[in-house]
């Protein structure tokens, strides 16, 4: 492209059709002509350079450090060496009263404080130039021009200048001010010297209005972007609070019993509408919450609900057994490391030898009674632990398979599934079940929980048959040493993770809503069991502070650990996104930001000015705990 192009942009951002110049100094001539014409009051910025022998040349400077804040924004093409942006400025008319006042008067609809003229003016200019740059970059035809020059008249200065020059009748004023594109060719030919004053006043009026309009438009555009963002989050089908009947009373006992009598013709939406607008009557919360949280589905028959309960009970028992077995190992390990530390401090004996003593003691214990040998064909890989070759030796002859088993850090811990079977046996009297298998000499390396699942039969585990703690503990104590010998293996990493999570859970369970009457030691234990079960199933996320706070109300209302476990799991499907591994919290912050920006922009500005708290991190607890505290 050898042609040079000049694009005129009026100060309201309107872009004129480009003027094309043939190669060879024509554009420069045009510009220097213009520059001369503007003198003495107006000038081009940056000015053209004079060079000896060549006359006028394009200025070399690229970076313009004008005091106006607009500059960066209006220079989208600054990097390419052939694009220039010129402004027409009028240094002598910085503060022309009449025009500035008009301008402020119009702009006052946005801002009531216009005491600082300069600042206000700059703001508007920034807005205008934002529009300008948008207009400039949009059309593609601009991209391939080798030279692009934008002429921008600026604000009040130009207008005042225009006014004066009109009266003098000698100017090229409309270069950037023509109200229609067709003014430009005429203006550039300078054939309108004697424009009537009236027309100029009209034009001025239009400019003032258009500037105010564009400022307002920019503001509105921004807000509409934010509103669009917000409206995308809202469910647009509005459910009325008063039709078919007022929902202010919420979901009452009467409505609920009506639903229960006629489940076939239930209207789930109607129930949800009542809950949304009026909440749930306290007495029926225990019944309703499992539906709301998704444990039961609306319309389920009694039989189906029983089935759901049975399934959950089974699963809860299974998970409990899994992590309790692991907890035994973790506790044992902690004891070992503690005693090792003590030994180290007291006698200076090394950790290794101390632990080794413990281990050798382990292997001497007769464990043939408790080593439940699970189905021989159920040899499975431990999904959590690292795979190890299956032991084929008889249980009594089992030795530690790791050569470096004396080192706690490199040892894989094992647990006897016998612990589990005995737990089970205590509950269900299915001891024979395990005893029958004890004759087998094969040791299946089976993850205890998996084995449990296979062995457990519906009906053996009744929902109300929660594992008795004392029983478990006493058995567990007895089997601690056995535990390290066979059945399932845990990697050190897994044990570390479990230990860390158990510890965190213990810390938080003990202090979770502890001023509330419900949380006695017994119920705290339930809370802990549910929390541990959930975390065991989600070890990749682990326990994060705040989970206990979410579980606690479920425990209080449902007062049933299996139900609470199920409901909490359902609740966490939604809430887990708020915890550090999910991405929802940043979205919440962004939405909050938009909301405050729209609803209380004054507050937003204030927050922005005082050290920028518009990250809204202070809302973290509200979002994480669903506004519980």
Partner 1 sequence: MQKHNQKEHLYKLLVIGDLGVGKTSIIKRYVHQNFSPHYRATIGVDFALKVLNWDAETVVRLQLWDIAGQERFGNMTRVYYREAMGAFIVFDVTRPATFEAVTKWKEDLDSKLILPNGKPVPAVLLANKCDQGIDVLMNNGIKMDQFCKENGFVGWFETSAKENININEASRCLVKHIIASESDPVQSVEPDIIKPHLNSSKIVSCSACFKS
Residue nearer to partner 1 on the CB measure, 345 or 459: 345
Instruction: State which of residues 73, 336, 382, 513 lies at the interface with partner 1 (CB under 8 A).
Output: 513
Check residue 15 and report its DSSP letter: B
Instruction: State which of residues 442, 469, 549, 626 lies at the interface with partner 1 (CB under 8 A).
Output: 549
Query: For the purposes of burial, counting CB atoms within 10 Å of the CB of 409, is it exposed (0-12), middle (13-18) or buried (19 or more)?
Result: exposed
* Closest to 16 in 3D by CA, of 206, 185, 218, 214: 185
Instruction: State which of residues 430, 469, 620, 626 lies at the interface with partner 1 (CB under 8 A).
Output: 620
Q: Is 93 helix (H, G, I), strand (E, B) or coil?
A: helix
State the minimum distance, in angstroms, from the CB of residue 342 to partner 1: 7
State the minimum distance, in angstroms, from the CB of residue 249 to partner 1: 33
State the minimum distance, in angstroms, from the CB of residue 579 to partner 1: 8
Residue nearer to partner 1 on the CB measure, 161 or 543: 543
Going by DSSP bridges, is the β-strand pair 488-490/49-51 parallel, antiparallel, or unpaired?
unpaired
Beta bridge partners of 87: 45, 152
Residue nearer to partner 1 on the CB measure, 262 or 586: 586
State the minimum distance, in angstroms, from the CB of residue 535 to partner 1: 13
State the minimum distance, in angstroms, from the CB of residue 145 to partner 1: 44
* Backbone phi and psi for residue 539, each to the nearest 5 degrees, phi listed first: -65, -25
State the minimum distance, in angstroms, from the CB of residue 319 to partner 1: 23
State the minimum distance, in angstroms, from the CB of residue 317 to partner 1: 29
State the minimum distance, in angstroms, from the CB of residue 268 to partner 1: 33
By the 8 A CB rule, do 418 and 394 touch? no
Position 555 contacts partner 1 (CB under 8 A): no
Position 544 contacts partner 1 (CB under 8 A): yes
What is the distance between the alpha carbons of residues 6 and 27, in angstroms, rounded to a whole number? 8
State the minimum distance, in angstroms, from the CB of residue 515 to partner 1: 5
Position 629 contacts partner 1 (CB under 8 A): yes
State the minimum distance, in angstroms, from the CB of residue 336 to partner 1: 14
What sign does the dihedral 420-425-431-433 (CA atoms) show? negative
Q: Mind giving me the DSSP string for 441-505?
A: -------HHHHHHHH--BTTB-TT-PPPHHHHHHHHHHHHHHHTTSSEEE-HHHHHHHHHHHHHH
* Backbone phi and psi for residue 168, each to the nearest 5 degrees, phi listed first: -80, -20
- For the chain, give percent helix, strand, coil, nearest 5: 55, 5, 40
| Interface with partner 1 in residues 342-381 (CB under 8 A) | 342, 345
Residue nearer to partner 1 on the CB measure, 248 or 590: 590
Q: How many CB atoms lie within 10 A of CB 71?
A: 17
Position 546 contacts partner 1 (CB under 8 A): yes
Position 580 contacts partner 1 (CB under 8 A): yes
* Closest to 554 in 3D by CA, of 537, 581, 579, 534: 534
End-to-end CA distance of the chain: 67
Position 150 contacts partner 1 (CB under 8 A): no
Residue nearer to partner 1 on the CB measure, 544 or 567: 544
Residue nearer to partner 1 on the CB measure, 513 or 561: 513
Query: For the purposes of burial, counting CB atoms within 10 Å of the CB of 196, is it exposed (0-12), middle (13-18) or buried (19 or more)?
Result: exposed
Instruction: State which of residues 251, 320, 512, 532 lies at the interface with partner 1 (CB under 8 A).
Output: 512
Q: How many Cα atoms within 13 Å fall on the side-chain side of residue 571? A: 24
SS3 track for 70-89: CCCCCCCCCCCCCEEEEEEE
Beta bridge partners of 152: 9, 87
State the minimum distance, in angstroms, from the CB of residue 526 to partner 1: 18
Residue nearer to partner 1 on the CB measure, 312 or 552: 552
Position 336 contacts partner 1 (CB under 8 A): no
State the minimum distance, in angstroms, from the CB of residue 618 to partner 1: 7
472-475 long-range contacts (CB < 8 A, ≥24 apart) are: 472/324, 472/423, 475/419, 475/422, 475/423, 475/426
Residue nearer to partner 1 on the CB measure, 20 or 628: 628
Question: Can you list the positions of beta strands (E) in 10-111?
Answer: 19-21, 43-45, 49-51, 55-57, 83-89
Tokens of 286: 């225990």
Instruction: State which of residues 105, 143, 514, 573 lies at the interface with partner 1 (CB under 8 A).
Output: 514
| Interface with partner 1 in residues 43-82 (CB under 8 A) | none
State the minimum distance, in angstroms, from the CB of residue 549 to partner 1: 7
Q: How many CB atoms lie within 10 A of CB 474?
A: 12
Residue nearer to partner 1 on the CB measure, 202 or 493: 493
Position 624 contacts partner 1 (CB under 8 A): yes
State the minimum distance, in angstroms, from the CB of residue 147 to partner 1: 45
Count of residues interacting with partner 1 (CB under 8 A): 29
| Interface with partner 1 in residues 469-508 (CB under 8 A) | 503-504, 507-508
Residue nearer to partner 1 on the CB measure, 182 or 618: 618
Residue nearer to partner 1 on the CB measure, 341 or 462: 341
Applying CB under 8 A, the span of 189-197, 202-210, 240-248, 510-518 interacting with partner 1 comes to 510-518
Residue nearer to partner 1 on the CB measure, 263 or 511: 511
Beta bridge partners of 44: 88
What is the distance between the alpha carbons of residues 577 and 574, in angstroms, rounded to a whole number? 6
Binding mask 284-323 for partner 1 (x = CB under 8 A): ----------------------------------------
String of b and e for 119-142 (b: at least 16 CB within 10 Å)? ebbbbbbbbbbbbbbebbeeeeeb
State the minimum distance, in angstroms, from the CB of residue 341 to partner 1: 6
State the minimum distance, in angstroms, from the CB of residue 542 to partner 1: 10
What is the distance between the alpha carbons of residues 200 and 171, in angstroms, rounded to a whole number? 12
* Closest to 323 in 3D by CA, of 476, 172, 431: 476
Binding mask 584-613 for partner 1 (x = CB under 8 A): -xx------------------------x--
Residue nearer to partner 1 on the CB measure, 118 or 493: 493
Position 99 contacts partner 1 (CB under 8 A): no
Residue nearer to partner 1 on the CB measure, 9 or 329: 329
What is the distance between the alpha carbons of residues 424 and 404, in angstroms, rounded to a whole number? 34
Q: List residues near partner 1 by CB under 8 A.
A: 341-342, 345, 503-504, 507-508, 511-515, 544-546, 548-549, 580, 585-586, 611, 615, 617-618, 620-621, 624-625, 629
């Amino acid at each position: 492209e050898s042609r040079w192009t000049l694009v005129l942009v009026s100060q309201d951002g309107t872009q004129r059709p480009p003027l094309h110049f043939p190669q060879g100094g024509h554009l420069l001539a045009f510009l220097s002509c213009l520059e001369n014409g503007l003198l003495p009051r107006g000038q081009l910025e940056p000015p053209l350079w004079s060079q000896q022998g060549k006359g006028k040349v394009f200025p070399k400077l690229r970076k313009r450090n004008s005091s106006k804040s607009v500059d960066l924004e209006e220079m989208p093409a600054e990097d390419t060496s052939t694009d220039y942006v010129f402004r027409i400025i009028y240094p002598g008319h910085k503060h022309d009263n009449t025009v500035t006042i008009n301008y402020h008067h119009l702009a006052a609809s946005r801002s009531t404080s216009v005491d600082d003229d300069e600042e206000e003016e700059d703001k508007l200019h920034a807005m205008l130039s934002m529009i300008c740059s948008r207009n400039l970059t949009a059309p593609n035809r601009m991209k391939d021009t080798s030279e692009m020059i934008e002429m921008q008249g600026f604000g009040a200065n130009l207008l005042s200048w225009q006014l004066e020059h009109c009266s003098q009748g000698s100017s090229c004023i409309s270069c950037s001010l023509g109200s229609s594109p067709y003014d430009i060719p005429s203006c550039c030919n300078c054939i309108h010297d004697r424009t009537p004053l009236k027309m100029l006043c009209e034009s001025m009026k239009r400019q003032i209005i258009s500037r105010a309009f564009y400022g307002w438009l920019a503001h509105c555009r921004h807000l509409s972007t934010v509103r669009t963002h917000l409206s995308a989050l809202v469910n647009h089908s509005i459910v009325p609070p008063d039709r078919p009947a007022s929902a202010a009373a919420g979901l009452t006992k009467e409505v609920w019993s009506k639903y229960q009598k006629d489940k076939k013709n239930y209207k789930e939406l109607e129930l949800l509408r009542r809950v949304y607008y009026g909440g749930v009557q306290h007495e029926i919360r225990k019944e309703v919450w499992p539906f709301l949280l998704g444990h039961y589905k609306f319309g389920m028959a009694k039989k189906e609900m029983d089935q759901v309960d049975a399934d959950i009970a089974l699963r809860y028992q299974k998970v409990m057994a899994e992590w309790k077995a692991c907890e035994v190992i973790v506790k044992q390990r902690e004891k070992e490391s503690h005693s090792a530390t003590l030994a180290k401090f007291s006698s200076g004996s090394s950790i290794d030898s101390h632990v080794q003593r413990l281990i050798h003691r382990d292997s001497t214990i007769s464990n043939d009674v408790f080593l439940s040998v699970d189905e021989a064909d159920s040899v499975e890989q431990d999904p959590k632990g690292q795979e190890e070759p299956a032991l084929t030796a008889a249980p009594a002859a089992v030795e530690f398979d790791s050569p470096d088993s004396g080192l706690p850090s490199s040892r894989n811990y094992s647990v006897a599934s016998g612990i589990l079977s005995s737990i089970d046996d205590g509950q269900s009297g299915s001891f024979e079940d395990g005893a029958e298998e004890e004759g087998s000499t094969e040791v299946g390396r089976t993850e205890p929980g998996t084995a449990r699942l296979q062995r457990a039969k519906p009906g053996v585990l009744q929902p109300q048959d929660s594992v008795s703690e004392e029983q478990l503990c006493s058995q567990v104590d007895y089997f601690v040493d056995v535990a390290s010998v066979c059945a399932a293996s845990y990697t050190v990493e897994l044990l570390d993770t479990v230990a860390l999570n158990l510890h965190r859970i213990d810390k938080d369970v003990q202090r979770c809503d502890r001023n509330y009457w419900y949380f006695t030691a017994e119920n705290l234990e339930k809370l802990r069991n549910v929390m541990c079960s959930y975390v065991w199933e989600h070890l990749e996320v682990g326990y994060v502070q705040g989970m206990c706070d979410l579980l606690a109300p479920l425990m209080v209302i449902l007062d049933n650990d299996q139900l609470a476990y199920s409901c909490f799991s359902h609740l966490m499907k939604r809430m887990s996104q708020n915890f550090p591994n999910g991405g929802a919290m940043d979205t919440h912050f962004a939405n909050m930001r938009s909301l405050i920006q729209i609803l209380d922009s004054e507050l937003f500005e204030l927050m922005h000015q005082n050290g920028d708290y518009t990250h809204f991190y202070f809302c973290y607890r509200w979002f994480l705990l669903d506004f519980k505290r």
